[in-house]
């Protein structure tokens, strides 16, 4: 199937003749996901969500250009885990600056970072890019937070738990090992009261807080839950693309 919204699969003739309105940059990670999910889980999910949301937008006459997913994210607390690859936030900023600068000079004015990894946070980078590209509307979308996990899953653990496992059972079931082989995803939390109240944060040293790299128990995962969760997230993101395309200038985005 020809997918002109996926730039990595599209030729120059198509790109040259298409009036793309929004550029989407999926950004994931390469990291251990318990014993049963692949290292590329965040990337595979990102690519799936970007593809499906862009297709829906195209069906509403909104021309979305999805760039190839960047497969490395911030994993500074996991550098001792073999072949988990970490990219520093400062490196991410330079990569993002180059990509944003390139599309800006090509005339694009709407860009969405589709984030698929909890360790990535582009908000401060976007703030730093604002004065460089003042009329570029630049957004961060954490696709996996588009709907509340509690509405779909019994266990709301955030990493290789029920939500990610259920999603991967839809996206790439061939890469999901039987959940019986997975660890329980038990994890330790900061002992301080401020963390419990939500105003204290510190990065997690993964080898200390988890025993199997998972956070959340995947045992109740299934593809039916995963499909509903993915469909609802994708629908919301596609709606945002359509909304964004209708806005002509940045000053129209606020009221």
Q: Is the pLDDT of residue 230 over 80?
A: yes
Tokens 């395309």 identify what position? 245
- pLDDT of 126 > 90? The answer is yes
Mean residue pLDDT of the chain comes to 97
Average pLDDT over residues 164-189: 97
Closest CA to 132 of 160, 178, 93: 93
Spatial distance between the Cα atoms of 54 and 229, rounded to a whole number of angstroms: 17
Nearest Cα to Cα of residue 178 among 37, 33, 42: 37
Reported confidence tier of residue 236, pLDDT bands at 50, 70, 90 = very high
Nearest to 224 by CA among 161, 176, 156, 152: 152
- Structure confidence by residue, pLDDT tens digits, 47-73: 999 999 999 999 999 999 999 999 999
User: Is residue 7 helix, strand or coil?
Assistant: helix
Q: What is the pLDDT of residue 25?
A: 98
- Give all domains of the chain, ordered by start, each with its CATH number: 7-249 (3.40.50.10310)
Distance, in Å, from the CA atom of 36 to the CA atom of 176, rounded to the nearest integer, reads 6
pTM of the model: 0.96
CA distance 154 to 17: 47
Q: How many C-beta atoms surround the C-beta of residue 124 within 10 A? A: 10
Residue 59 exposed, middle or buried by CB count within 10 Å (0-12, 13-18, 19+): exposed
Give the model's confidence band at 116: pLDDT under 50 very low, under 70 low, under 90 confident, else very high: very high
The rounded distance, in Å, linking the Cα atoms of 10 and 239 is 24
Q: How far apart are CA 140 and CA 48, in angstroms?
A: 17
Q: In the prediction, which pLDDT does 89 show?
A: 98
What are the pLDDT digits (tens) for 184-222? 999 999 999 999 999 999 999 999 999 999 999 999 999
- At 72 the three-state DSSP class reads coil
Q: Which of 160, 187, 186 is nearest to 175 (CA)?
A: 160
Sheet with 22-27, side-by-side order of all strands: 64-66, 22-27, 110-115, 137-142
Question: Which token pair is 90?
Answer: 């400062």
pLDDT given at position 1: 74
**Token duo for residue 150:** 């509690």
Helix orientation angle between 223-246 and 162-171, rounded to the nearest 10 degrees: 80
Residue 23 bridge partners (DSSP): 65, 111
Segment 85-89 mean pLDDT: 98
What's the token pair of residue 253? 């985005």
Strand ranges (E), the chain? 22-27, 64-66, 110-115, 137-142
């Amino acid at each position: 199937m020809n997918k002109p919204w996926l730039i990595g699969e599209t030729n120059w003739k198509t790109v040259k003749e298409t009036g793309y309105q929004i550029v989407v940059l999926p950004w994931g990670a390469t990291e251990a996901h318990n014993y049963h999910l692949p290292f590329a889980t965040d990337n595979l999910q990102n690519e799936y969500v970007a593809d499906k949301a862009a297709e829906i937008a195209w069906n509403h006459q909104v021309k979305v250009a999805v760039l190839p997913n960047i497969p490395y994210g911030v994993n500074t607390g996991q550098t001792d885990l073999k072949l988990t690859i970490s990219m520093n936030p400062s490196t991410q900023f330079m990569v993002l600056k180059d990509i944003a600068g390139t599309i800006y000079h090509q005339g694009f004015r709407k860009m969405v970072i589709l984030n698929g990894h909890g360790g990535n946070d582009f908000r401060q980078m976007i703030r730093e890019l604002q004065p460089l590209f003042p009329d570029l509307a630049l957004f961060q979308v954490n696709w996996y937070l588009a709907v509340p996990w509690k509405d779909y899953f019994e266990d709301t653990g955030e990493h290789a738990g029920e939500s990610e496992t259920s999603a991967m059972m839809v996206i790439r079931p061939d890469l999901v090992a039987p959940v019986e082989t997975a660890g329980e995803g038990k994890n330790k939390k900061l002992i301080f009261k401020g963390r419990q109240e939500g105003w204290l944060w510190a990065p997690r040293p993964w080898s200390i807080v988890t025993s199997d790299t998972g956070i959340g128990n995947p045992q109740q995962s299934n593809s039916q839950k995963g499909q509903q969760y993915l469909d609802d997230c994708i629908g919301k993101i596609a709606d945002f693309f359509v909304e964004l395309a209708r806005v002509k200038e940045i000053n129209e985005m606020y009221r």
